[in-house]
Amino acid sequence: MADLYAIMAWDGPGGMAARAEHRAAHFAHIETIIDKIAIAGPLYDDDGGFAGSLVVVHAGSRAEAEAILKSDPYHAGGVWARWDIHRFLGAAGDWVGGKTW
């Protein structure tokens, strides 16, 4: 079974315009990989603008999680300037039904 990987991808300069330009392709792409996504959505800055994206994916390795990120039109379109990827364990909260211990 695949592990979960949390990807935090941070928008670069011009990210807002790049998002608008590539949004339709991004959404179409997400629909093709929806079975690999545990949760995904935009991150906002304090002013309500886009800061980046959080995507938690099912992947067999960090390299596979990075390949998922790099296959996204937002990556090719220059929306994201940098990203962090870490193996993730959902241990507590309403999304995991309370706690896992």
Which contacts of 31-35 are long-range, i.e. CB under 8 A and separated by 24 or more positions? 33/68, 33/71
Strand partners, 87: 5
For residue range 40-69, what is the model confidence (pLDDT) as tens digits? Answer: 999 999 999 999 999 999 999 999 999 999
Measured CA to CA, the distance from residue 11 to residue 9 in angstroms comes to 7
Res 1: pLDDT = 66
Q: Which of 100, 62, 58 is nearest to 83 (CA)?
A: 62
Q: Which of 75, 100, 96, 99 is nearest to 85 (CA)?
A: 75
**What parts of the chain have a pLDDT lower than 70?**
1
